[in-house]
């Protein structure tokens, strides 16, 4: 019987260099490649869109998002660790579509007052385990959300499984989103932002 091969058929040209630098700095939490391929596909659906990434890391997810974005789309990527984000800046900083923000993602979410987003990729705790309601309010109707790393990872601290279980358990109360949990890649929560009532649109 034929088994579908879900190995990504291509990768961003910058990815190999990013992952090599990640190994040099001892960073083991880069975006999984199948998740990245999905991000590229979803970003391609948002022509001229505004994309946000919470948790730049060294820029693997950033590279996949840029890989799918069209020339008129824009990406804001937020990271609290300047030394990690410096890798992404070196590898991707020449791309005019991306703006790097060095800030705590929770604080940044609370302070953000710009236009709403068309796609959000959450690769850190804020926007997923904390501050999710705030991020939902910052998504346009029809916007897409991807949160990864919901299946056990060797890098998890001892208390993290409880955090993930609580997140999954509480998803149904976020009624402005249509959620799908995916036991695939690193374990994903994928959602679409539902429309606002007419007086809130």
Per-residue pLDDT of the chain (201 residues), as tens digits, is 778 899 998 999 999 999 999 999 998 889 999 999 999 999 999 999 999 999 999 999 999 999 999 999 999 999 999 999 999 999 999 999 999 999 999 999 999 999 999 999 999 999 999 999 999 999 999 999 999 999 988 878 888 899 999 999 999 999 999 999 999 999 999 999 999 766 554
In a domain, 169, yes or no: yes
Q: Are 51 and 76 in contact (CB under 8 A)?
A: yes
42 contacts 118 by C-beta, under 8 angstroms: no
pLDDT at 196: 72
- Measured CA to CA, the distance from residue 175 to residue 146 in angstroms comes to 16
pLDDT of residue 201: 47
pTM for the full predicted model: 0.94
Tokens for 116, please give them.
């709403």
Q: Does any domain span residue 88?
A: yes
Look at residue 186 in the predicted model and tell me its pLDDT. Answer: 92
The pair phi, psi for residue 81, each rounded to 5°, is: -95, 105
- According to DSSP, residue 171 is labeled G
So what's the pLDDT on residue 82?
Answer: 96
The DSSP string of 122-165 is E-SSBTTTBSHHHHHHTEEEEEEEEE---S--TT--TTHHHHHH
Is 80 inside a domain boundary? Answer: yes
Strands 139-147, 188-193: pairing is antiparallel
Q: By residue range, what is the domain housing residue 149? A: 31-193
Predicted pLDDT of residue 127: 96
The answer as to whether 6 is a domain residue is no
119 belongs to a structural domain: yes
Q: Is position 40 within any domain?
A: yes
Q: Give the list of residues 6+ apart from residue 181 with CB closer than 8 angstroms, or none.
A: 150, 168, 171, 187, 188, 189, 190
First to last CA, the chain: 49
Tokens of 156: 């998890």
Angle, CA 137 vertex, CA 133 and CA 143 arms, to 5°:
110
Q: Specify the 3-state DSSP secondary structure of 175.
A: coil
Residue 36 falls inside a structural domain: yes
Residue 72 counted as domain residue: yes
**CATH number of the domain bearing residue 66:** 3.40.50.150
Q: What is the per-residue pLDDT for 198?
A: 63
Non-local (6+) Cβ contacts of 116 within 8 A are 50, 138, 139, 140, 143
**Closest to 145 measured CA to CA, from 70, 56, 52, 64:** 52
Number of domains in the chain: 1
> 121 forms bridges with which residues in the sheet?
53, 146
């Amino acid at each position: 019987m034929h088994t579908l091969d879900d190995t990504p058929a291509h990768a961003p040209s910058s990815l190999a260099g990013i992952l090599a630098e990640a190994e040099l700095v001892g960073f083991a939490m880069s975006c999984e490649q199948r998740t990245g391929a999905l991000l590229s596909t979803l970003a391609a659906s948002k022509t001229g869109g505004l994309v946000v990434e919470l948790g730049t890391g060294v820029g693997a997810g950033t590279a996949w998002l840029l890989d799918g974005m069209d020339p008129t789309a824009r990406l804001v990527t937020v990271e609290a660790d300047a030394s990690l984000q410096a890798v992404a800046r070196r590898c991707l900083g020449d791309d005019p579509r991306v703006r790097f923000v060095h800030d705590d993602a929770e604080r940044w979410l609370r302070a953000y007052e710009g236009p709403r987003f068309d796609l959000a990729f959450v690769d850190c705790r804020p926007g997923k385990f904390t501050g999710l309601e705030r991020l939902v309010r910052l998504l346009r109707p029809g916007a897409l959300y991807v949160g990864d790393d919901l299946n056990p990872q060797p890098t998890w601290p001892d208390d993290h499984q409880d955090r993930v279980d609580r997140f999954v358990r509480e998803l149904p109360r976020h009624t402005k989103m249509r959620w799908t949990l995916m036991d695939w890649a690193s374990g994903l929560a994928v959602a679409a932002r539902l429309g606002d009532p007419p007086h809130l649109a």
